[in-house]
């Protein structure tokens, strides 16, 4: 093999490896995007089953909305804190930790909301497993209707 042919082979192999790496990156990125799209929507508890392994306490949250990387949910405020919402509903930062969706409280702390399992969200605690299904706006329980309010501003963490 001439030196020219050898360099050409090396370059072709390098290009092939680069293309493969890009394709792999695309598929990971696509998968993430697909999951993200799948998680967006209005989620409401449709079933609760006993789960003896569910440790800790189960939150009372039975509906929430995910859109644009934010979570909209009901939070009670017992005191006269800065930025409290008149209807107890907040559009908050959200973040993933593996398959767990976290939301950022008005006080800045991150808290677990639900776990993504086989195409739906679940919450566990108090010996129970709460299963959420994606629902249409008209199916949302009255208590949680504020999460449907259009144009709700993102909570301002740094007023």
Closest CA to 66 of 35, 46, 45, 42: 42
Q: Is 2 in the site for other proteins (CB under 8 A)?
A: no
How far is residue 155's CA from residue 72's CA, in Å, rounded to a whole number?
A: 10
Question: Which helix (DSSP H) or strand (DSSP E) does residue 142 occupy?
Answer: none
Q: Is 68 in the site for other proteins (CB under 8 A)?
A: yes
* x/- letters, 80..119, toward other proteins (CB under 8 A): xxxxxxxxx-x--xxxxxx-x-x--xxxxxxx--------
Question: Which residues, in sequence order, are CB contacts of 81 under 8 Å at separation 6+?
Answer: 106
| Window 33-62: residues binding other proteins (CB under 8 A) | 57-61
**Please, what is the minimum distance in Å from the beta carbon of residue 119 to other proteins?**
18
Beta carbon nearer to other proteins, 13 or 55: 55
Residue 154 DSSP symbol: B
Q: Is 78 in the site for other proteins (CB under 8 A)?
A: yes
């Amino acid at each position: 093999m001439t030196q020219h042919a050898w360099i050409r082979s090396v370059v072709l192999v390098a290009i092939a490896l680069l293309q493969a790496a890009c394709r792999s990156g695309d598929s990971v990125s696509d998968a993430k995007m697909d999951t993200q799209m799948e998680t967006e929507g209005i989620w409401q508890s449709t079933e609760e089953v006993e789960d003896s392994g569910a440790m800790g306490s189960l939150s009372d949250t039975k509906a929430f909305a995910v859109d644009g990387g934010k979570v909209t949910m009901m939070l009670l405020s017992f005191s006269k804190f800065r930025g409290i919402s008149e209807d107890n509903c907040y559009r908050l930062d959200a973040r993933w930790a593996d398959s767990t969706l976290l939301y950022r409280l008005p006080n800045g702390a991150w808290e677990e909301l639900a776990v993504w399992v086989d195409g739906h969200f679940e919450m566990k605690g108090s010996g129970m497993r709460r299963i959420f299904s994606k629902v249409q706006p008209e199916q949302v329980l009255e208590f949680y209707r504020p999460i449907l309010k259009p144009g709700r501003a993102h909570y301002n963490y740094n007023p």
